[in-house]
Amino acid sequence: MTGLRSSRSILTILLLAAFGWSLTSVDWREGVLNVQGTPALLEFLAAAVRPVLTPAFLGRAVAALWQTVAYAVAGMTVALLIGAVLGTLASGALAHRRVARFGEVVGARATLGLLRAIHELVWAWLFIAALGLSPITGVLALGVAYGGILGLIFAQHLADAPTAPLRALQAAGARPWQAFLYGRLPLVLPDLVSYALYRFECALRAAAVFSFVGLGGLGAELQLSLRELNYGEVWTLLFLLIALIVAVDWWSGEVRRRMTT
């Protein structure tokens, strides 16, 4: 117990030291805040109480929002396929021989590490170089980057599943894939679904800023409104995005509640 407290104290001191070092690394003499931008900031904040609600713009905004949702769903579909396959292999749940299990786990985890180490924006640039400027570029960038993250979480949950039910199935003569499908997977499925839904929320936000790779949608409308300094339109688009995230959060909560009751 004393050792644990000592370790926490050392970690706290290190974190505080790192924070203090970061403050000293900033050149405060150059002026951190742009005072000349204060009027523009106030104008932007004031526009929040008068968003543009004309039928023409609302129709355009809703269409852009729907396009963003479609791209997020497509990207998450790719991510789930990658995460499910690599996550299962990285957990070692299906291999029954030690050598084969070691090879699967190491290979799958190395691949997942590569996929998640590169940000989705960097993946987007790589796919632009390979495939050109098109919506599929953003979808693949989301799918590959998020697939690496989902695969890691899936592997951890599958590896940490309780072993008692699995041993009972194996003692009854179940094959490894049967023990996985009827024993291990049902135990962790609510947690896997919960995290996948959280990542879907992240995918919606990421898809909204992918306009530069040809996705269009909400990000393109935001970029256009900001370029024209039409802050009322910007707030309309932001309110729609916030409403979408809240709706997805409520829906994911309902899904989790029904899966656990």
- Mean pLDDT (whole number) for 78-95: 85
When pLDDT is cut at 50, 70 and 90, the band that residue 213 belongs to is low
Q: CATH no. for residue 179?
A: 1.10.3720.10
Q: Which of 90, 104, 51 is nearest to 242 (CA)?
A: 51
226 pLDDT exceeds 60? yes
pLDDT in tens, 88-114: 888 877 766 766 677 778 888 899 899
pLDDT in tens, 157-173: 888 776 766 666 666 66
Predicted pLDDT at 125: 85
146 pLDDT exceeds 90? yes
Domain-embedded: residue 70: no
Predicted pLDDT at 4: 55
Q: Are 123 and 101 in contact (CB under 8 A)?
A: no
9 pLDDT exceeds 90? no
Q: What range defines the domain where residue 175 resides?
A: 75-260
Domain-embedded: residue 105: yes
27 Rama class: left (phi>0) / alpha (psi -120 to 50) / beta: beta
- Mean pLDDT (whole number) for 171-182: 68
Long-range contacts of 196-201 (CB under 8 A, 24+ apart): 196/76, 196/80, 196/83, 196/150, 197/248, 197/251, 197/252, 197/255, 197/256, 198/252, 199/76, 199/79, 199/146, 199/149, 199/150, 200/72, 200/73, 200/76, 200/248, 200/252, 201/245, 201/248, 201/249, 201/252
Q: Which of 191, 109, 95 is nearest to 148 (CA)?
A: 109
Domain-embedded: residue 38: no
Domain-embedded: residue 33: no
> Domains in the chain: how many in total?
1
Helix (H) or strand (E) holding 181: none
